[in-house]
Each structure stands twice: as structure tokens, then as C-alpha cells.
Amino acid sequence: MSWQTVVTEPSELGESPFWHPQEQLLYWVDIAARRILRANLVTGALQRWAMPSEPGCIAPATDNGEGGGLVIALRDGIYRAPIWGGELSLLAQAEHDTATTRFNDGRADPLGRFWAGTIYEPRDRALAALYSLDCRAGGAAPRLQRQAGDAHTANGLAWSPDAKTLYWSDTPRHVTHAWDWDASRNVLSRQRVFQQFPGKPEGWQAGMPGYGGRPDGAAVDAEGNYWCAMYEGRRLLQLSPSGALLADIPVPAQCPTMPCFGGADLRTLYLTSARHGRPAAELAALPLSGCVFSMRVEVPGLPVNFFLD
């Protein structure tokens, strides 16, 4: 397995990639640059869409007669865009203090709800939480439902292929949790540690060996394996449903951020990365930091879930 650089224009903080099967386009966000991007990887065409605040995550939406569009978690709430570049309409106002907290990692679940976690930017208290939003036709009035909390930075949200297990990480604590998930009732139970990663060694600085990184964004394949980008660890991990390490894949950027599966057979794995705030020496040694990479894998991934409204 080897990486290819499929988008050479670097993002400051690339995140939330997904492959749109109808459009055959790769979408992702650049949180720090406050924009959403999409690329045709055949022609190389790259489109950029400026946002009024940081887009923490996005998901494709079902076709509403205008093309489907996106659901977008901005700093202050969850928004709906009917088409690329279209007007943003507020679905749900954020419940957090936007001076210190914004939405971060998230995606749609297998039943079409949108989920987004938050990041508490001072990181001195565990005030980040995970929310779901149900806007499906015929349901109750849309509202944010708090699903989990007591975290610093929400990341790694994913579901098992049978939609019975939910994964969620708290990046600064180097931990990924798992819950049993009742999809029809949208209820989490039986929280447990899926993987506890080693912390940062005392005195460690960027460029030093001896640190494997902390869990950032993730994706699940058709066999239920959990693929996790290890921020600052320069690697991508494949973990079995039991948490056993199946693969430890070096990455050409110190800070990989989130994988997703795409292509016609869902056997192309895409990976975003970051360069925002990284040391100059690191960027000189790893000039592809912030680019989007791809590699072919043996087991296909799960298709992207669409938001339903």
C-alpha cells in the first residue's frame, strides 16, 4: 500500500472528507481557512466555498429537487445549504458559548440524522459534547439532542456496519470510546473504552520520535474495522472491532486528520491532513502537509450516510 497525493493545494486544517457517489466528487472542509472544498479527481478541478465561520464538519443531504446540497456545522449552529454555494438556512442554534466553543467532527448517521461534536478551545475543562439533530420529515420539531459529553475535543465519530455500535474520541485524552446504539430510539448505552492510546511523553516536541499521536477523525470499513488518523503521529491505524491493531500505516504528513472511503468500489481510502500552526522545520521536512492523499485498500469502506430532511 502506498499513498498518492490527489489534491496538491494544501488546506490549513483539512477535515470531514466524504465521497459523493452520485457526483463522483470528494468533499472536505478547511476549518482554519473557513471554507468548504470539493474536487473532481479525474479532471483536477477544485472548487472552494467561503463560510462565515469555521465549518467543523459537513454531510451530503438527500435531493430536495435542487440537487441535495449539504448540512454544515458552523461555529454557532447547524445549517442547511440546498445547493453548492447556496444560501445557508439555520436548522438548529448551538447551545454552547461560541466565544469558547465551536462544532468540530461530525457526520450523518445510517438513519439520516446529523451528528456533530464540539471542541472547547481553552481545553482546560471537559466541556465538549456530542449532539444529534433529527430533521426527518414527519418527526418532531428539529432540536439538538445531547448524546455524550465530558470531553475536550470531539473526534472520531463513526458507526459499525450493523449500526449497533457508535465510536467517539476525545483527542487530548488519547481515548476512543464505544457505545451500544439503539438506532430506532437514538439511545446510547454501555459506554466503554475502545482504545486508550499512550499519551505524549514529557518534554516531547514536534519532530521528536517516541510519540504515536492522538486519535482524530475516523472511518469504518465493511468488516467493521476502525480506521483512525493519529494527529501528530504521522500515521493511520486500522483497528479490528475488538480494538486489535491490524495495520499501522505511515503518512506523508505529521498531522493526518480524517480518512474516508470512496471510488466506485469504495476501496479507495482518502485522507485529509493539516499544516495550521505547525513548526517551520516540520513543514520543510514534510512539504505535503495539508494535502489530501489516497491509497487503495483490500476491504471496501462503508458509503457515506446522507442527511434526511
Going by pLDDT thresholds of 50, 70 and 90, the confidence category of residue 138 is low
Could you list the active site residues?
Answer: 216
How far is CA 115 from its chain centroid? 11
- What is the Cα–Cα distance from 307 to 46, expressed in whole angstroms? 24
3-state secondary structure (DSSP) of residue 214: strand
pLDDT tens per residue, range 76-128: 999 999 999 999 999 999 999 999 999 999 999 999 999 999 999 998 999 99
pLDDT tens per residue, range 155-208: 999 999 999 999 999 999 999 999 999 999 999 999 999 999 999 888 887 777
- What is the Cα–Cα distance from 200 to 47, expressed in whole angstroms? 37
Nearest to 153 by CA among 192, 109, 106, 211: 106
Neighbours of 182 (CB within 10 A): 12
Query: What is the DSSP pairing of strand 101-108 with strand 89-93?
Result: unpaired
Domain 4-198+211-296 belongs in CATH node 2.120.10.30: yes
pLDDT tens per residue, range 10-46: 999 999 999 999 999 999 999 999 999 999 999 999 9
Going by pLDDT thresholds of 50, 70 and 90, the confidence category of residue 281 is very high
Report pLDDT for 34: 98
Going by pLDDT thresholds of 50, 70 and 90, the confidence category of residue 309 is confident
- What is the Cα–Cα distance from 224 to 290, expressed in whole angstroms? 28
Q: Cite the DSSP H helix spans in the chain.
A: 280-285
Q: Would you kindly state where each structural domain of the chain is located, as residue ranges?
A: 4-198+211-296
Nearest to 274 by CA among 217, 231, 215, 210: 231
Going by pLDDT thresholds of 50, 70 and 90, the confidence category of residue 304 is very high
Mean of pLDDT over the chain: 95
Under 8 Å between Cβ of 174 and 196: yes
Under 8 Å between Cβ of 129 and 120: no
Nearest to 256 by CA among 301, 286, 285, 280: 286
pLDDT tens per residue, range 226-269: 999 999 999 999 999 999 999 999 999 999 999 999 999 999 99
pLDDT at 55 over 80: yes
Instruction: Quote the cell numbers at residue 19.
Output: 465521497
Under 8 Å between Cβ of 153 and 173: no
Its pTM stands at 0.96
Q: How many CA atoms lie within 13 A of 83 on its CB side?
A: 4
Report pLDDT for 120: 96
> In a 10 Å sphere around its CB, with 0-12 CB exposed, 13-18 middle and 19+ buried, how is residue 137 labelled?
exposed
Give, in order, the Cα–Cα distances in Å from 232 to each of 42, 119, 205, 206, 213.
Answer: 30, 18, 10, 8, 5
Instruction: Quote the cell numbers at residue 247.
Output: 495495520
